[in-house]
Amino acid sequence: MLNGDPAKPCPLTTRGLQQATDMGQRLESSSLDLCITTTFERTRKTACIALGGRDVKRVIEPLLNDPVLGALEGFDVDRHRDWLEQHAWDQAPAGGESQLEAISRFVAGWRRVLERREKAIVVIGHAFPISFALTLASGEEPALRRRYDEEIEFAQLMTLDVVALDKGLRRAQTALTDLSITRSP
């Protein structure tokens, strides 16, 4: 079931709790300056478990929240994908946000992460914004696309090349700007 509303309870499953514990074991030897989560309960709880009692500064970055699903809230992934395939990416489900709106928000959110002064940062987030960042950092074109298919396993540690991500964010921002110019009346 998809959840794009941080106000709706969506606690970690038994499997999610175990994944968070496993992540904590993998992070044990890492020196961390900052942990960034989203507004969603499940990312904050994952961070709490993974970091345990470690003294690591934590901040919430709402720009990396999962997309607002509106009328698609609570549906399964396949139904959401079907809806996306049947609609333009600037169309939003009733009460939700479009893919372009979400991608634009992700660009701003990842930009804020890169602008942080801390050196060792762990971001505990959602599959779509993480897949988006991994794709941008890989240099694959186009920067903007309907689907970002980088395989994301929940609660896995991945390293992002900040220089490559910065370049990817610049490409995505340019593409968003070009798209808005071509869409203007």
Write the CATH number for 127: 3.40.50.1240
Q: What is the CA radius of gyration of the chain?
A: 17
Give domain status of residue 4, yes or no.
Answer: no
- Quick: pLDDT tens for 106-124: 999 999 999 999 999 999 9
* C-alpha–C-alpha distance, residues 77 and 71, integer Å: 14
- What burial letters (b/e) apply to 20-44, b meaning 16+ CB within 10 Å? beebbeebeeeebebbbbbbbbbbb
Distances from the Cα of 43 to the Cαs of 23, 47, 93, 111, in angstroms?
12, 6, 24, 19
pLDDT for the residue numbered 113: 98
149 falls within a domain: yes
In a domain, 37, yes or no: yes
pLDDT at 153: 78
Number of domain units in the chain: 1
Quote the domain boundaries for residue 50. Answer: 14-183
Contact by Cβ (8 Å): 164, 137: yes
Question: pTM higher than 0.85 for the full model?
Answer: yes
Provide φ and ψ at 55, rounded to 5°: -85, 80
pLDDT digits (tens, 9 = 90+) for 142-161: 888 877 766 777 778 888 99
Question: Given this model, what pLDDT does residue 183 score?
Answer: 59
Tell me if 145 is assigned to some domain. yes
pLDDT of residue 157: 85
Evaluate whether residue 32 is within a structural domain.
yes
| 135 Rama class: left (phi>0) / alpha (psi -120 to 50) / beta | alpha
For residues 7-12, average pLDDT? 91
Q: How far apart are CA 81 and CA 74, in angstroms?
A: 13
